[in-house]
Structure 1
């Protein structure tokens, strides 16, 4: 882990602390970075729309859930 000095918006930090119930700024920043990465990774899935050939049977897959 590296040490970095950054300026943070105090109002934004306070609001984020209330929303996440995290009390330490380092935990808050790490949580925010993890959420950002996760969000962008999910969005990359949409880039595959129309580019992937799928030959499964969705109805058959759903019937196994019941």
Structure 2
């Protein structure tokens, strides 16, 4: 996708220096990927404490039952 945007030159210089990325296009793609990764991780962290686990859940028994049918 070709887009024309005006970027903060100081931010671009600093980001290029910190990442050792050579081009602004690579930098923007990297920044977008990082944004997406961080948001997904944050969304997972927001689930913390909202999932209720059964205290009598026996994953070992479940594994044993699964292998019997193979």
Q: One fold, TM greater than 0.5?
A: yes
Residues in 2 aligned to 1:4 and 1:35: alpha-carbon distance in whole angstroms: 20
The two structures have a TM-score, normalised by structure 2, of 0.71
Query: What value does the CA root-mean-square deviation take over the aligned residues?
Result: 1.5
Q: What is aligned with 2:27?
A: 28
Gaps of 5+ in 2: 55-70
Give the length in aligned residue pairs.
55
Gaps of 5+ in 1: 56-66
The 4+ residue runs of structure 1 with deviation greater than 4 A are: none
Rg comparison, structure with higher value: 2
The two structures have a TM-score, normalised by structure 1, of 0.75
